[in-house]
Structure formats: structure tokens, C-alpha cells
Copies of this chain bind each other. A is one copy, B any other.
Amino acid sequence: MASRSDRHGMTGDLEHFERVARWIDAYYADPYRFAVLSRSAPGDLRAALPADAPDEGEPFERIFADFERLIVPGITHWNHPRFFAYFAISAAPVTVLAEALTAALDVNAMLWRTSPAATELEEVVLDWLRRLLGLPATFHGIVYDTASISGFTALAAARESLGIDVRERGLAGRPDLPPLRVYLTEHTHSHVEKAAIALGVGRENVVRVPVDHAFAMQPAALERAIASDLERGFRPMCIAATVGTTSTTSCDPVPAIGAIARRYGVWLHVDAAYAGPAAIVPEFRFLLDGCDRADSLVLNPHKWMFVPVDLSVLYVRDPEMVRRAFSLVADYLATPEHDVRNYMDYGLQLGRRFRALKLWFVLRRYGVTAIREKYRAHVALAAEFAGWVRAEPGWAVVAPHPLSVVCFRHEPGGAAAAADAHNMRIVDAVNATGEAFLSATKLDGRVALRLAIGNERTTRDDVRTAWDLLRAAAATE
């Protein structure tokens, strides 16, 4: 090894791979020694680190010792079987190997020629996924980093599809243009509204369509909103429907919404970032009913398909519209190949990591049958947890739970505001134990606690532990 290091002027750090591999192995083997929610106080790490970078290089051992001593206690362990907050995620062990390879290869898959395998593997793997999801062959997949960027890209394409030549002429200083309108609900993920802000639509033009008792968009209300906007001379740009909202995993009725989108010629974007992957299970395929009529659809393998952050997938019916919205080919990026896809043409970002590798690894390593079983197990666990909550006096399930997330709260009686504070103290107490981490939301203005199952290593015992902690916290609160 020494000769190699000398030969290439390297520092021999790869010799430390074994140390890192052992640490990662132990990390997976015994996650329970870590507090799920970090117990750091603000400023702890900052205070522990020097104000300046070192002049001279340090031995790897010292850096790694600091990683263990200073960084790990400041980590909130997303890759933990008792992480039940937001949407729970996992990095399958095989994906850690994939990410090490991705880092070593360090390719930028901006053009086909700058790594043909990265581009074509992306095409193949997204086609595998498309077929598993039962989406039409006309859907083209593109990998982005996050659902925020996937959604932004979809809305940018929707804007370009209006035929008002935003690309060339922009939106400002054009008295010919009406306000552009985006339709969503109060349960749509905030990234859609953020995209509307960024694209120059403006928050005033983000229309919150009322939801029904199950937190799903009301199609009749959507139609009224569009009709009213048209009467006022506004221009409907995009309807954002969600399959699996963040608070409750409620599902907007895509078939009915799609019919309205078609009738009025409005772009239909479907955010299935969390729930979409589950549609590879036959009994959950209904989740994507009507999505074959969508113009764009996002799902996040880094949420519920066991690949580490980040990897989001956008399917679009008309990739040319995305290209029109974004493509700019500088002289220094000109490329001799034809009939190849240069993914840099399909998004805001020129630079692109080789993200498809980890998805390919996990789909092959587990196989579709095993992934389906994991989803079934998660949904069954969530149902079981909901059953425990319902059976317990003073506790209530407060939203339908079609998938792996349950919204619930302790309802000992009394005023709503007091009950809200009481529930926040319960979840804070549970999180402070370090034994589990849950998050909260608001439904109809009232606090709801959420238990989100999604880590592939979560067992019934883990869920039971969370439930015991919740009841104990409520009892002593």
C-alpha cells in the first residue's frame, strides 16, 4: 500500500476503509445505543470546534475520533428503527456500498458522454420502476435530488406549456399576461408553494381548494375555483394533487381531478413522493389510479424505497416541455452524440451525481417481492398501532391511515388549546427519552401526533416501545 500511496501522491486514506466499514457495521448492528433525536443543545458542536481550518494535515485517526466524539452525538438518527417522525426512511446496507462507489467514480452525469452508464442506467432503472408502478410507456423518468426540485421542474414545465413564451419573454412588464394560478390544498407539501413563489406565480395566486373530512381535495370545489378564475381572466397553470400528503397521507381523488384538468386544459401534477413507491404492491396500486392522465408525477425512492437521501424521480408525459423550459447548451458543453439523452437539458441543475446506481443496487439486491413485503409489513404495523390507540381510553386516531402513518392524540378532555399543549408536551417527553422520535402536525387547527413507519428495520417491538413511551408520558404529564 505504501508504494501505491507514494506512486500516486496519495495519503493512503483508503487503508482506513476497514475502520469506517467496522463503524458502519456496528452502527447498523446496534442502533439502540443512540438517542434517536440528538440531545445536542444549540451551539454544542460549534463551541467544540476550532475557529480555523488546520494549517497542517491531521492523521485520519484523529479526524475519525472527532467524528465519533463530536459529530455522532449531534446526529438525529434518521436511519434508526425508532425514527417515526416526518416520513421515516432507510439506507439499505447495499446502498451504502453504492454511495461509496459513486463517490469514488465521482462522475458528473450532465451529458451522455460524461458517463454513458450513468445516463442509461437512469433510463433503465426508471423504466423498471415505471413498469412496476403500472404507468404508461409514454412517461419519461428523470432523477433529481429532492421532491422540491422535481415539483419545481414540473411547475416550470407547466408554465412553459401555457404558450406564453415565458422562456424568452419572462413574466414581468407584460401587460398582456393575466395572473397565473396554481391549485392545491392546505395539505399539499410546502415545496409546491415554494416553487410557485420561485416561478413568479406569487402566493396570492396559489389557490387553496377546500378538503373533505378525510383531508382530500374536493373536486367540485376545484372546478368552481377554476371556473371563477377563468371568469376573472386569470390563467390556470397547474393543479397539484397529492397521493399521500405529509400530515396524514390523505390522497386527493386523482381520477376526478384529472377529468377537471382535462376539461379545462390545465397541467396536472401529482405529488406521490412518499406513497408512490407503495403502488408497486398490487393491493396498493389504487394509489395511482388516474395518474396515467397526469402530466407529471413525483415519487421519492429516498423516502420509502430504502435508498439514502437524495434521490427523487419525476415522470413526465412530455419531456420536451421540460427541455423547453430549461435547455441551454453552451459552446463548452456541445457534444457530438445524437439520439442520446443529455440529462442536463432537463433541469435547473447542470451538475448531476450518479444517483441511479444505488437504486439499481437495492432493486436487484432485494427484488420486487421482498420490497412489496416490506410495504405490506409497514402498513400492517401502522394499522396495528392505530388499533392500540383506538382501544386505549383517552386516546384517539384523528385521521384515516391508509398507509404507514397514523395521526392520533391524547384527549383527556378540556379545552382544545390546553389539549394541544398537553400533546406537545407528550411528544417532547417521548423524544427527550432518546428511545423514539415522533413529530407533530396540525389538523383542523389542532395538534395531532404522528407515528410514521418507513424504516426497513422497524419491528413490532419498536412500535410497541413508542406506544409505551407515549402512554407513560401522558400518564405523568
A308 and B51 contacting across the interface, CB-CB below 8 Å: no
Q: Mark A140-180, 1 if CB is under 8 A from B, else 0.
A: 00000111110010001000000000111111111101111
A44 and B116 contacting across the interface, CB-CB below 8 Å: yes
Identify A55's interface contact among B10, B168, B339, B367, CB under 8 A: B367
CB distance from A347 to the nearest CB of B (A): 8
CB distance from A274 to the nearest CB of B (A): 12
B25 and A170 contacting across the interface, CB-CB below 8 Å: no
A326 interfacial contact with B, CB 8 Å? yes
Q: Mark A72-110, 1 if CB is under 8 A from B, else 0.
A: 111111110100011001111111111111111111100
| A40-65 CB contacts (< 8 Å) to partner B | 40, 42-46, 49, 51-58, 60, 62-63
B147 and A351 contacting across the interface, CB-CB below 8 Å: yes
**Nearest B residue (CB) for A182:** B170
B368 and A53 contacting across the interface, CB-CB below 8 Å: yes
**Nearest B residue (CB) for A38:** B116
Flag the segment in A188-196, A284-292, A381-389 that touches B: A188-196
Q: A31–B433 Cα gap in the complex (Å)?
A: 49
14 contacts between A and B (CB under 8 A): A11-B92, A14-B21, A86-B114, A86-B332, A103-B308, A106-B309, A145-B351, A147-B350, A170-B196, A171-B172, A190-B328, A190-B350, A331-B441, A332-B441
Identify A101's interface contact among B24, B89, B98, CB under 8 A: B24
With contact pairs A11-B94, A54-B363 given, residues A179 and B170 touching in the complex (Cβ less than 8 Å): yes
A200 and B199 contacting across the interface, CB-CB below 8 Å: yes
**Nearest B residue (CB) for A442:** B331
Flag the segment in A125-133, A393-401, A411-419 that touches B: A125-133
A361 interfacial contact with B, CB 8 Å? yes
